[in-house]
């Protein structure tokens, strides 16, 4: 047997073999194997992709504009890297909109959040730097640490006193210390205390703060600028990152920073320099969403209300629930248990998927409820009733 088939067999035995689901999307539902289920596994947090009225209007306006040719901001390819001919007016407009919305002086957009995290860290951290990262940061951040020349140290999840001690130690030994974390964690749904992180950063010399708001951008804050807006620290975070592929129903990612850092990355960040820029058409849609973001308060409130109901129901069932957001883990423990529970939920019409190692630590397999604003209060209640029955 080849090494590959050996490993595949082992994954199957452990209940950790993965495959790409074949599903059909129908608004907020998915169709799979003849079943129609409410999609509780997508990151379309504001419901903009599954209730595509805004998208329909955008595309019909676009079709209208293409009657006599394709204007540059509707092209489906940028045909080049941002540094060559791939920067279109609309890329700059998106960056300007981000600056306007956040009040920060510079913004830079990337092809994806993965590229962003995998590229920024190696660019900014050299061998005289140390990266202090939360134990549960996303794989893209881990890969960025692996690619960088810096020493990397992981601190216990959300353990601010351990982080403080590490920052004290390394700020003496290293020229640059970079604290890296997420504002809402993808698998536990817990919300970071950014104010304390900012205090720690300011307490020691040469410390910078890097926060990934992938799950909070669009969802949190009065105007949708994330947990940083909610906690009033937008200006205190050196690298404030977000993605367009989740709540913003588009593709790509962004960094808010100061002008010098932006210029440095344009010169040094390989996944920015050596990849084809996001297509203008997609950027134009991102711009549209950004311009409407402040007005989506009702969606944010509906999402927060339904999420709170689900969190308390999970706790009533006796399960540990670290979440403080619209991402709610339902802890199952072993992978086989998570698979069985997911299957039962799917039979009852709710499309939940098991999340297993290596995405989460061994023994913490779970279902990850990823709630969206497209889900109504009535659907939330029905979901809770089913959950209580099956747990």
Indicate the residue among 182 and 190 with the shorter CB distance to ligand PLP.
182
Q: Rule CB under 6 A: is residue 282 a binding residue for ligand PLP?
A: no
What's the min distance (Å) between Cβ of 9 and ligand PLP?
30
Q: Is the dihedral of CA 10, 367, 43, 98 positive or negative?
A: negative
Interacting span for ligand PLP (CB under 6 A) from 77-85, 106-114, 227-235, 279-287: 106-114
**Is residue 170 a contact partner of residue 153, using CB atoms and an 8 Å limit?**
yes
CA distance 4 to 1: 8
C-alpha span between 292 and 296 (Å, rounded):
7
Stretch that binds ligand PLP, among 100-108, 112-120, 172-180, 321-329 (CB under 6 A): 112-120
- Give the contact letters, 120-139, x = binds to ligand PLP (CB under 6 A), - = no: ------------------x-
DSSP assignment of 6-46 equals: HHHHHHHHHT--------EEETTEEEETTEEEEE-S---TT
Contact (CB, 8 A) for 221 and 252 = no
Lay out the site mask for ligand PLP across 200-219 (x = CB under 6 A, - = otherwise): ------------x-xx----
In the bound state with ligand PLP, the residue whose beta carbon lies nearer, of 201 and 215, is 215
Query: Based on CB atoms, which residue is closest to ligand PLP, 186 or 231?
Result: 186
- Residue 358, preceding bond cis, omega within 30 degrees? yes
For residue 2, give the 3-state DSSP assignment. coil
Report how far residue 177's alpha carbon sits from residue 171's, in angstroms, rounded to the nearest whole number: 6
**Euclidean distance between the first and the last CA atom of the chain, given in angstroms as a whole number:** 40
The 229-268 contact track toward ligand PLP, x by CB under 6 A, reads: --------------x-x-------x---------------
**What gap in Å lies between CA 293 and CA 297, rounded to an integer?**
8
Q: How far is the CB of 117 from ligand PLP (least distance, A)?
A: 6
In angstroms, the CA 238 to CA 235 distance is 8
Question: Would you count residue 306 as binding ligand PLP (CB under 6 A)?
Answer: no
Alpha carbons 29 and 350: distance in angstroms, whole number: 9
Q: Does 41 bind ligand PLP (CB under 6 A)?
A: no
- State whether residue 211 is helix, strand or coil: strand
**Smallest separation (angstroms) from ligand PLP to the CB of 185:** 8
Cβ distance to ligand PLP smaller for residue 174 or 283? 283
- Taking CB under 6 A as the rule, which mask of x and - marks residues 139-158 in contact with ligand PLP? -x------------------
Total number of residues binding ligand PLP (CB under 6 A)? 14
**Nearer residue to ligand PLP within complex by CB, 230 or 381:** 230
Residue nearest to ligand PLP (CB): 113
**Residue 171 sits in the site that holds ligand PLP (CB under 6 A):** no
Element (H, E) at 259: helix 259-268
The tokens of 171 are what?
């700020």
Indicate the residue among 117 and 348 with the shorter CB distance to ligand PLP.
Answer: 117
By CB under 6 A, name the binding residues for ligand PLP.
112-114, 117, 138, 140, 182, 186, 212, 214-215, 243, 245, 253
């Amino acid at each position: 047997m080849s090494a590959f088939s050996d490993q595949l067999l082992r994954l199957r035995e452990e209940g950790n073999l993965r495959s790409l689901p074949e599903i059909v999307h129908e608004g907020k539902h998915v169709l799979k194997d003849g079943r129609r289920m409410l999609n509780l596994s997508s990151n379309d947090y504001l419901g903009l992709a599954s209730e595509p009225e805004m998208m329909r209007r955008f595309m019909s306006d676009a079709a209208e504009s293409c009657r006599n040719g394709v204007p540059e901001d509707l092209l489906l390819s940028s045909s080049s890297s941002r540094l060559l001919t791939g920067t279109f007016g609309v890329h700059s407009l998106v960056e300007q909109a981000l600056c306007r919305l956040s009040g920060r002086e510079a913004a830079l957009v990337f092809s994806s959040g993965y590229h962003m995290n995998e590229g920024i860290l190696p660019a900014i951290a050299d061998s005289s730097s140390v990266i202090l990262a939360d134990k549960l940061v996303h794989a893209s951040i881990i890969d960025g640490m692996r690619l960088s020349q810096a020493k990397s140290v992981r601190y216990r999840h959300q353990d601010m006193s351990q982080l403080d001690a590490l920052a004290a130690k390394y700020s003496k030994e290293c020229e640059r210390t970079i604290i890296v974390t997420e504002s809402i964690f993808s698998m536990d749904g817990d919300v970071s205390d950014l104010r304390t992180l900012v205090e720690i950063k300011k307490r020691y010399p040469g410390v910078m703060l890097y926060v990934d708001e992938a799950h909070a951008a669009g969802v949190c804050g009065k105007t949708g600028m994330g947990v940083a807006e909610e906690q009033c620290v937008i200006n205190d975070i050196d690298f404030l990152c977000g993605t367009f592929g989740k709540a913003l129903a588009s593709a790509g990612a962004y960094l808010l920073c100061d002008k010098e850092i932006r210029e440095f990355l344009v010169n040094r960040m390989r996944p920015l320099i050596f990849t084809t820029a996001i297509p203008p058409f997609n950027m134009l849609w991102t711009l549209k969403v950004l311009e409407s973001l402040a007005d989506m308060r009702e969606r944010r409130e509906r999402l927060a209300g339904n999420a709170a109901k689900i969190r308390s129901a999970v706790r009533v069932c006796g399960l540990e629930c670290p979440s403080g957001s619209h991402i709610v883990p339902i802890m199952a423990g072993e992978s086989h248990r998570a698979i069985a529970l997911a299957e039962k939920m799917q039979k009852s019409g709710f499309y939940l998927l098991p999340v297993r190692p290596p995405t989460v630590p061994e023994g913490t397999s779970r279902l990850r409820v990823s709630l969206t604003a497209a889900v109504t209060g009535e659907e939330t209640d029905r979901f809770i009733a089913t959950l209580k029955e099956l747990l």
